[in-house]
Amino acid sequence: MTDAEILSVLRPDGTADPAHDPGLPDAELLSLYRHMVLLRTVDEKAITLQRSGRIAFFVPSTGQEACSIGAGHAVREGDWIFPAYRDHGVGLMRGYPLASLIGQIVGHATDATRGRQMPNHWCDRSIRLVSVSSPVATQLPHAVGAAYAAKVRGERVAVLTTFGDGGTSTGDFHAAMNFTGVFRLPVVFFCENNRYAISHPVERQTAAGTLSEKAAAYGLPGVRVDGNDVLAVRKVVGDAMDRARAAEGGTLIEALTYRIGGHSTSDDPTVYRSEEEVAAWRAKDPIRRFAAFLKGRSLLEDPAAVEAEAKEEVRRAVEEAEGAPPVPLSSMFEDVYAEIPWHLAEQRDSLLSGKG
């Protein structure tokens, strides 16, 4: 396959191309579907929470579920994940608990980061999912650092880092790609090309024909994949992760997809794109597309039941998170020093005594 070709597995008639089908067991196919539905349900609920003033902010991934769920399925125990803020699906697919994700969004006591991060800035040490950061593409050099450390230690693991098309316009992208190529590091760069860096179209970010062809400058293979095809994403990312674990170096993957909603709940996408464009991409919905495949395999009888189950699961998680107590004020003095120095302890005691 050449760089300009776009790998797809799911055909328009709902069947799969046997040449590229990753051949997942039925139970795993259903797990992919359920996680895609769950991810969209989280988006819908979180946007409602933000609009009603119950949370401050949210970054949705509607339309890109095949990317984060397909990529997340390719991660194995011991691998590292350095995600972008839109890829909470990677964490969910890897085992990040829904309750933890909702807890982080709400920011009460169930939030592992204790309310100190914006929503969509989650992390989980147990699955090596490193904290999301707001600046674009800063996670790429971090991922490369983890990969370099793994190579020095002789660990056969892969590092997955995800980012948008806007990330390829940064110096961090160049530095990370170049270091990976020179030192042959086990990093999979998964670029979700959803056409816009907030409001800036990809055509105004680069003069290159594709984003994946940039890999050649760093001595890495570049691959393009249909980002609305969960099986194609799973195939391409899985192959790249296997290659990384085998000490064969990194890969740049460009997944062609589309962000149906705004960049965040603070964004109005109608300012910079047309309803006709959005409608055309709605017709390529990755969840409906995968459902058609599962129905053809007699694996999915009642999509409505899966949706109802996801809504109830999210409802319970929100209820638990909102019912948790607020983060105690004293926590602002913790988690920086192993032992709180005297001046901070003095400030803490003054605050808690009401004299501060």
List residues with catalytic annotation: 259, 263, 272
Report d(CA 28, CA 234) in Å as an integer: 11
Q: With the CA atoms of 212, 179, 73 and 166 taken in that order, what torsion angle do they form, in degrees rounded to the nearest 10?
A: -50
Beta carbons within 8 Å of 89's beta carbon, 6+ residues apart: 35, 36, 39, 61, 64, 65, 67, 68, 69, 72
Distance CA 64, CA 259 (A): 6
State how far Cα 79 lies from the chain centre.
15
Which is it for the CA torsion 2, 86, 23, 188, positive or negative?
positive
Structure-token match 């933890």, residue found = 100
The token pair at 245 is: 């674990």
Residue 207: exposure state from Cβ atoms within 10 A (0-12, 13-18, ≥19)? exposed
Distances (CA, A) of 150 to 155, 243, 347: 5, 15, 41
